[in-house]
A and B are shown apart, each in its own frame.
Chain A
């Protein structure tokens, strides 16, 4: 990560408007969005959009031909090109042929993508953005920081200054007055413009129609007043049938701005008469710019389903801290990272992809069902392949795989006796507990790891057996969590074994894009865990559980080790997370709650993988309520705590403020106990609360559950 990039993060974090306004917006957004979707089956709508757009992405050329034929039959001129330069040249030539001196534009991300304004201005043409946010940033000489609200990073004071400096002196920071001022100034531009340029939200192939959505009404003026209208449309906007606009018009306003419908939707299917009775010159430019190439990529084809609602920005714990400019100049946030890699170049995404903490919020909210975190991981993987793995990274993973050596180094570091020779390495170790992390206290590394402790536990001989997968944190930092798992399962008549050959689950390697290493981790674990015949393979870590259940398979597939897939699937069948297994045992009457437990208020933190990949978040809540405890939900219980595995080490600047917000929400819930199913989150949250001197207890669900059982 370059110093320059780190600095841009620090600058953004230091900007109080970004952290304040964006943070409040992001909190309010979830509530207002949910309200806008009341009475709508979101899953059904997004499945429909995904189907419509996926089908379109599979036949972009066919649909482009169809669109062209339908639109041209009505007198529209359609120009299709792969090249951004050809788009710029076409528009400039058209403008020059018609003696165009001034252009008004409504919002078009495609035009930003090809830096159209600069090109036209260099030729002496006056180009005016008319969307208020776009106009502000145009005047300020900036780029949009958000796909829907381009100037969200600016305060009204800054806007007043921009207007005063660039348009007319003396503007006051009064929002209604600033809006009126813009109306007045831009009205003259609309009436005097020779050409209007717009984008489009949807292009319907069978009818040659463009669907354009705005709230301000500027697109209606841009497409009505000037005699020439040019629409720039990315090929991904194509859909086949007119009726298919319904799901998109249902989801886009709700997801983008929490509206049931935007103020204006215009459907333009052919040239209409101008105000002087002459026919309008309507030009539609269908722009490829690598979209077809994307459609042919089996992984990234999915990204063409995007309807540009920007909800992935609004719910992102990182975006709400740093805003859009850290991400780049055109497309920002999660989907922006992917689009930048394609419409720009893969290496342009090198730094911004590292901003993703893999919490999965965006995936859950995406109205086009795009697995954004997965695609960002795929970028990471391809970058790692392209750039080769740095030596240091290789060294680290060899340490992680050697469990005794890893434990030894961690233990030495934890007690402050780091051998000098290992110091450089240690700084890069995944999950390493270094002094860099000043914002929270860290657990001491256990002198005796769980793998040795379990040998000393006297267990009853049972016919049913479970293998415990420890993972780094249970094995080395929280062996007491592993002991409680054994205690609970023993009560249900299950004997727990700890296959010695188990190693790292491979998540750190996978999340660094090092798939070869991750696949080898998986192969080693599969061998170890299938060696003995057990009924369950249980883990008290959701990230490990996901690795065992899903990622082993995906990693082996990614590197072409298909021969090992049957064993990986056999293992996946047996894998279960602790709370889910405990709940099954309670249901089967094999675990019984003590009578007369003193009820304790508790709040529950949803770990990212636990909720959004395993979908098990209700299980521990239910178990604890059955035990007689009282749940008090915190605000944003499912927002990431900022741990994200090695993320907290790579980007402590971001991990700390994400944690800060979580801690405030926990404190405001007012319960003396936080329960969590992930030892990583336990480490982050317990460390953070301890640093604040809080009395709130943080426990893994198994620790509290064990006390409640007979």
Chain B
């Protein structure tokens, strides 16, 4: 199998598995396209500079000084100085994940920095950006890359928060996000 065919198979598998657990997946060729789409999304979600309407974006390799300034200008209420209070009063949390697993539709992140966990736990919508090149086949593949000796808090996220504790009826959105939007970006550099 050619490398391209193999990589497209892994992408298809990831999308299928993630959607099967109620995540939404969008794919973009460039970071620029992805950012433009995110700005539109934040407007649609009526993100504003007031409590319960913020969007919080945790430190991400894809966001440099330039991107940050542009985004802040484009979306009032989008904050990069994530605090507990802001995250608790935010509609949308955005973060960049380190890897994704094709056979389970899982996102993986070294989340020692607390802002990464705040944006992916407190708001109702979590937008997870991940490089298409960071797709790995399965759990053993990512376990070879992560080192618990170096990361104190590793997060694996598969779909939105869910419960079946009342009469076994699947209900999405308990303590964590009720929506998970995964944004695959082809031209982002993958984590090592």
Contact = CB atoms under 8 A, between A and B. Distances in A.
A74 B174 CA distance: 32
Contacts of A25: 168
- Which among B83, B88, B105 has the highest number of chain A CB atoms within 10 Å? B88
Contacts of B105: 260
A275 interface: yes
A269 B151 contact: yes
B163 A179 contact: yes
A220 B83 contact: no
A663 interface: no
Interface stretch (A184-192, A318-326, A597-605, A634-642): A184-192
Interface stretch (A242-250, A396-404, A426-434, A452-460): A242-250
A243 B156 CA distance: 16
Interface string B140-157: 100100001101111111
Interface stretch (A210-218, A521-529, A609-617): A210-218
Contacts of B167: 21, 154-156, 175
Interface residues of B, number: 46
B153 A267 contact: yes
Given A151-B165, A242-B148, A246-B139, A262 B175 contact: no
Prevailing SS type, chain B contact patch: loop
Size range of the chain A interface in the assembly: 35 or more
B73 interface: no
A221 B153 contact: no
A178 B169 CA distance: 12
A636 B157 CA distance: 35
Given A263-B157, A269-B148, A156 B121 contact: no
A463 B178 CA distance: 76
Contacts of A224: 114, 117-118, 121
A119 to B, nearest CB: 25
Contacts of A218: 174-175
Interface string B118-154: 1011000000000000000001100100001101111
B77 interface: no
A263 B158 contact: yes
B13 to A, nearest CB: 11
Contacts of A274: 114
A287 B105 CA distance: 35
B149 A269 contact: yes
Contacts of A225: 84
Contacts of B164: 149, 215, 257
Contacts of A255: none
Contacts of A136: 165-166
A273 B152 CA distance: 10
B173 to A, nearest CB: 7
A706 interface: no
Nearest to B103: A260
A216 B175 contact: yes
B112 interface: yes
Given A178-B166, A224-B114, A261-B104, A215 B156 contact: no
A261 B167 CA distance: 21
A132 interface: yes
Contact of A263 (B83, B149, B159, B165): B159
B161 interface: yes
Given A215-B163, A264-B158, 15 more contacts: A151-B166, A152-B165, A182-B174, A246-B139, A257-B164, A261-B104, A261-B156, A263-B158, A266-B153, A266-B155, A267-B156, A269-B148, A269-B154, A272-B112, A275-B83
28 contacts: A132-B166, A133-B163, A133-B165, A151-B165, A154-B167, A156-B167, A190-B175, A215-B163, A216-B161, A218-B174, A218-B175, A220-B175, A242-B148, A245-B143, A260-B105, A262-B158, A263-B157, A263-B160, A264-B158, A264-B176, A266-B154, A268-B153, A269-B149, A271-B152, A272-B153, A273-B112, A273-B114, A276-B84
Closest 9 CB pairs of A and B: A217-B176, A133-B165, A265-B156, A270-B152, A275-B84, A216-B174, A267-B154, A217-B161, A269-B148
Interface of A: 21, 25, 74, 130-133, 136, 149-152, 154-156, 159, 175-176, 178-180, 182-183, 186-187, 190-191, 204, 207, 209, 215-218, 220-221, 223-225, 242-243, 245-246, 249-250, 257, 259-276
